Copies of this chain bind each other. A is one copy, B any other.
Amino acid sequence: MSSDKEFTLYSYWRSGTSWRVRAALHHKNIDFDYVAVNLVKGEQRSAEYLEKNPSGLVPTLVHRGVLLTQSPAILEYLEEIHPENPLLPKDPVSRAKVRALVGIIACDTHPVQNLSIIKEVARLRGKEGVDTEFAKWVNVRGLTAYEKAVGQTMGKYSFGDEFTIADICLAAQFYNANRFEVDLTPFPNIVKLMKEINEVPCIKKSHPSAQPDATA
């Protein structure tokens, strides 16, 4: 790279996990080079990219030559090396509550409706393309769990009035749920939270539509 920036992010505009890392970088005012990996063209399976990320997944964050993968691990890393503009509370119980909300999305929901999974479910059902029925079911299941859990913790944001990684994860999942045309009527807590979250500058800057590789 000709740039002298410390961070390079390999990202795809529509990838929810890439969005999480973009949001955290913007929230912490960390400057980074953006390298688009076109998942539709299969660039994540190129030999060059697989050297950076053996799973063939986005995002990969490179920091001073160190390759970092898996978005929850990257978010924790950014929090540890760059604690300014925190994305986690300070006390262990509060942190555990935020991370539990994160887990509902980052473990139990997003990976289950990931592109490669909904392609495989379609294939097993003898269908072409992706299984949107299954993807929708996964999104409804995930939002249902989040809606209940966040009812016990929410304020202006998912955990009281602190903007956290839980809100970042929710924003990306909510975008997916809308893509899969999930009826949002049963999720008033989430709809209310998203009105606030959508106004946070780092969410606007990291939104898929604001990325250099975004297409219509």
Cβ A55 vs Cβ B137 within 8 A: no
A100-B73 contact given A80-B92, A107-B111, CB 8 Å threshold: yes
Say whether A66 faces chain B, with CB atoms less than 8 Å apart: yes
CA distance A127 to B72 in the complex (A): 35
Say whether A210 faces chain B, with CB atoms less than 8 Å apart: no
Where the two chains meet, the residues of A that have a C-beta atom closer than 8 Å to any C-beta of B are 54-55, 57, 66, 68-74, 76-77, 80-81, 92-93, 95-97, 99-100, 102-104, 106-108, 110-112, 114, 116-117, 120-121, 124-125, 131, 133-134, 137-138, 141, 145, 148-149, 152
Cβ A120 vs Cβ B100 within 8 A: no
Cβ B55 vs Cβ A76 within 8 A: no
A104-B148 contact given A66-B93, A96-B68, A133-B124, CB 8 Å threshold: no
Chain B nearest CB: distance from A182 CB in Å?
Answer: 16
Chain B nearest CB: distance from A149 CB in Å?
Answer: 5
CA distance A148 to B55 in the complex (A): 8
Cβ A103 vs Cβ B148 within 8 A: no
Copies in the complex: 2
Cβ A108 vs Cβ B55 within 8 A: yes
The residue from B81, B100, B138 contacting A69, defined by CB atoms under 8 A apart? B100
Chain B residue nearest to A79 (CB atoms) is B92
Chain B residue nearest to A88 (CB atoms) is B76
Chain B residue nearest to A110 (CB atoms) is B107
Residues of B within 8 A of A72 (CB): 72, 99, 103, 107
